[in-house]
Structure 1
Amino acid sequence: MERSLILLKPDCVQRRLIGRIISRFEDKGLNIVGMKLMQVTPDLAKQHYAEHVAKPFYPGLEAFITASPVVALVLEGLEAIRVIRDILGATSGLKAAAGTIRGDFSSSRQMNLVHASDGPEAAAREIGLYFTESELCDCTLSLTPWLRADDE
């Protein structure tokens, strides 16, 4: 089982797409183990995007991510990081395939609705920025046996 941080970004929240996006993840069988509506502060943005702080585009990125609340989620599932990134589609909504979240709802490179961790190390770091251990809920849903075999 793998976990990934998901941020439904300000454009997703403002466009009232939260439910439609979350349903895509649930439909795929991913479990929500943490979720909250929150305001990203400039300090949190700097921690999250630490590798970009010195880049010329960073001020715009920070202004965007702090402009409105986000919904932070931790999703869990088999190969969750890859599966989530496949569901999202290409980073640019202009290049994302139809049927993906970005392909269906985004027509921008920056306004791409959702952030998802890009690997296990990033996921662990990012989850730690947004959630305490006590905010994550481990549970096995009653439908789990109908989503995957016991040996998966």
Structure 2
Amino acid sequence: MADAERTFVMVKPDAFARGLIGEVVSRLEERGLKLVGIKIENMPRERAEEHYGEHEDKPFYDDLVEFITSGPVVPMVWEGQDATRQVRQMIGETDPLEAEPGTIRGDYALDLGRNVVHAADHEDEGANEREISLHFDEDELVDYEQHDAEWLYE
């Protein structure tokens, strides 16, 4: 696939605790996106601070860092045409009260501070590369032929 793009997605501790990992992965797979990296971890505080670094001066920064380090997370890398925009559309608005039914947040989240999943912002140039390299070494990402790609793209 010539125009494949990689994007970063992370199941947050609330979704992990609620057993929603499979739901998130299934929805992205069913859309036709290709999973090229996944792991389960307790995110180190230093990496959490770097991950949310652009919010460091905001009043909710400490809460973000505390929450994301409060339990296991599932960082992932997905690939597909316009993957970042596709994923952002699928997860819905950051505030679950504004997220449409049928989106991941619209279906599973009730609170802004516990909104199930993080995804790189398609409007922030470089967000994907930064977040992917922050959470994955290049040798942790797998390159393979997606068997149904000919049915997904012209």
1: CA distance between counterparts of 2:81 and 2:133? 20
* Residue 41 (structure 1) shift: 1.1
User: Which amino acid is the alignment partner of residue 8 of structure 1?
Assistant: V
* Residue 58 (structure 1) shift: 1.3
Please state if 1:140 is matched with 2:145: yes
Could you list the runs of 5+ residues in structure 1 that have no partner in the other structure? none
User: Considering only aligned residues, what root-mean-square deviation do their CA atoms show, in Å?
Assistant: 0.9
Provide, for residues 71-109 of structure 1, a one-character-per-residue CA deviation record: whole Å limited to 9, x for no partner. 010000000010000000111111100011111111111
**1:2-151 aligned within 5 A:** 2-119=5-122, 120-149=125-154
Could you list the runs of 5+ residues in structure 2 that have no partner in the other structure? none
Structure 1 runs (4+) greater than 6 angstroms displaced: none
User: Which amino acid is the alignment partner of residue 122 of structure 1?
Assistant: A
* Residue 55 (structure 1) shift: 2.1
Provide, for residues 31-67 of structure 1, a one-character-per-residue CA deviation record: whole Å limited to 9, x for no partner. 0000000111110011111111232211111110000
The number of residue pairs the alignment matches comes to 149
Secondary structure of the residue aligned to 2:40 is: strand
Q: TM-score, normalised by structure 2?
A: 0.94
Q: TM-score, normalised by structure 1?
A: 0.95
